Amino acid sequence: MTKLPLRIIQISDIHLLADTSGALLGVKTQESLEAVLHLVHQEETPPDLILLTGDLSQDGTETSYQRLASMLASIPVPIHFIPGNHDNVKTLNNTFQGDNIFPQKQIILQNWQLILLNSQKPGKVEGFLEQSQFDYLQECLRAYPNHYSVVVFHHQPMPVGSQWLDNVGLKNADEFWKFISNYPQVKHLIFGHVHQEFEQEKQGILCFSPPSTCIQFKRKQDHFGLENLAPGLRWVNLYEDGHLETGVRRAAKYVGVFDKDAKGY
């Protein structure tokens, strides 16, 4: 039996490209991911689980997903994933495969349940939870009513304080919050998409996101901008009594060069 706390690492918004030296607004996304994965390799004991919370690929190509799988192959930890707005869901599901990569979206770990949802609205940057996702969430929560639960999807279900980014968050967030109010076992919510460290409580649920492994969006801005912060990951420790500890680790030695004049991505 795994010794509590359960240790999870969240890695998000990798934006890998088919070209190994491909860059997003100046940042070589493979190189910056390598710097973040180095942090994972430095862990004294491997975590129990890695969550990839969307935008695994920038171009949705088979090559990008296959290369990502091979970059992760040396990490002896189960990896679960959800799509982001940039992903090609079909290609992701068909080509992102490996001995340590699992397609399951319901994860039971001792007295915890993690439920992974797809918030992608095909062809759009903004997100939306379809009825099928609410049905799945309900099914999972009803199946394990006494497990502390963590819901995971890509788009932010609350404003993070940047107007341009909050215009492309989860469009039916109100519906989600109303739905979730019926399930007090949901303790935490994990998302990606916002390319920044963020934590906020809502309806008694702690919601948070990590830095991206590539470009970092400037916080609290009305218009798009990038911030000169190192890429990173989020660690999450889940305790037996339902509480959680979390924090961010950055690849401090990685010096990324990004396009300071970028007006969008």
Closer of 78 and 157 to Fe ion (Cβ): 157
Size of the site for Fe ion (CB under 5 A): 2
Identity of the residue, 4 or 168, whose beta carbon is nearer to Fe ion in the bound complex: 168
Q: Nearest distance from residue 224's CB to Fe ion, in Å?
A: 12
CB 17 within 8 A of CB 28: no
- DSSP letters, 128-163, are ---HHHHHHHHHHHHHSTTSEEEEE-SS-SS--S-H
- Please report how close the Cβ of residue 147 comes to Fe ion at its closest, in angstroms: 30
Residue 87 engages Fe ion in binding (rule: CB under 5 A): no
CA distance 215 to 23: 10
| Residue linked to tokens 């296959």 | 66
Q: Which stretch binds Fe ion (CB under 5 A): 5-13, 95-103, 148-156, 226-234?
A: 5-13
Positions in 128-167 near Fe ion (CB under 5 A): none
The two structure tokens encoding residue 125: 């940057």
Instruction: In angstroms, give the least distance from the CB of 82 to Fe ion.
Output: 12
Helix axes 62-72, 29-41, angle to 10 degrees: 20
Closest by alpha carbon to 37, among 7, 64, 4, 68? 68
Q: Minimum distance from CB of 262 to Fe ion (Å)?
A: 14
Minimum gap (Å) between residue 143 Cβ and Fe ion: 31
Is the preceding peptide bond at 5 cis, omega within 30 degrees of 0? yes
Q: Which is nearer to Fe ion, 13 or 48 (CB)?
A: 13
Q: Which of 25, 50, 53, 55 touches Fe ion (CB under 5 A)?
A: 55
Closest contact distance (angstroms) between CB of 131 and Fe ion is 25
Conformational region of residue 140, where left means phi above 0, alpha means psi within -120 to 50, and beta covers everything else = alpha
With contacts defined by CB under 5 A, name the span among 13-21, 37-45, 177-185, 253-261 that binds Fe ion: 13-21
By the 8 A CB rule, do 51 and 190 touch?
Answer: yes
Among 6, 10, 13, 244, binds Fe ion (CB under 5 A): 13
Catalog residues that contact Fe ion under the rule CB under 5 A: 13, 55
